[in-house]
Structure 1
């Protein structure tokens, strides 16, 4: 029989916990994860994504979840072969900046697209 070990309102956090439990050899499953992703406004109403494990493996699963919360699986600073710390890639690229600029320019009202003065048309 499976028991609900934890409930997560963040589906990504639930997937990380599920993956860690499965990596430890625990037969875990995640219920309502797709509902939580598809209907984010329902997350609290349905109780979030529920992490279920067999009752026999619950004690070990609780230990693993406690280790996750304590940061036991966090990555330390990673260095390359020369010992220099690796930097995360810059997510801002030139094409991304240009796309943002074009988007902002299209939202600006252009001066030559003003509405015609109706009084000038009536005089003709």
Structure 2
């Protein structure tokens, strides 16, 4: 839908676009797209037939203010007004308090309207265009504070030590279960047992040690991946 509005506005001539801006009843997103297209062409938003609730149309015109956007929700209107004022734009809202207290007035008044002083229209359009593009979005910081990183690092080290201890205990138990019967025999000697039996036990011991080593290496790689920002 947004792409359809952008294409339609781009195909209109300057006169058609200004006439459309006066008579069309658009929602908030479409109005922002229309304002951005007018700003791109260097055109001003024509005077609307609606007037701010704080005064008459003659009062608004005599004070040098022009309606820029209508149909805003109270929250979005306050956010946009704050951004404009942060850039030094002289602007005010019409209908924000009424629609916030009683939402039913939102449809009766056509939403919240934004008025900007004529001298600041160009800056206001740039701010609105940047807002629509998402230039003011604040990204979530991935880096944590230093105490938090220290606590996480301590937990990782403790977890690594626990895994290492468990691996060593399990490996020791496995080797003991494998070789203890031979050592416990009263007639044990280095030459007792068949060569095939000794070879099988040696291979089993090598397998157990190798398996434990690969397991510890896997845990170490997983911990290192978690440390990456």
TM superposition score normalised by structure 1: 0.62
- Say which structure is richer in strand: 1
Gaps in structure 1 of 5+ consecutive residues: 85-124
Gaps in structure 2 of 5+ consecutive residues: 1-63, 150-229
The separation in 2 between residues aligned to 1:22 and 1:80, in whole angstroms, is: 31
Q: 2:85 aligns with which of 22, 27, 34?
A: 22
The separation in 1 between residues aligned to 2:73 and 2:144, in whole angstroms, is: 33
Show the counterpart of 1:72.
135
| RMSD of aligned residue pairs (Cα, Å) | 1.7
**Count of equivalent residues:** 84
Q: Which has the larger radius of gyration?
A: 2
Higher relative contact order (CA 8 A, sep 6+): 1
The separation in 1 between residues aligned to 2:132 and 2:96, in whole angstroms, is: 20
Query: 1:18-97, aligned counterparts within 5 Å?
Result: 18-78=81-141, 79-82=143-146
TM superposition score normalised by structure 2: 0.35
Task: Spell out structure 1 runs of 4+ moving beyond 2 A.
Answer: 79-84
**Closer/same/farther in 2, CA of residues 9 and 64 from structure 1, 3 Å limit:** closer
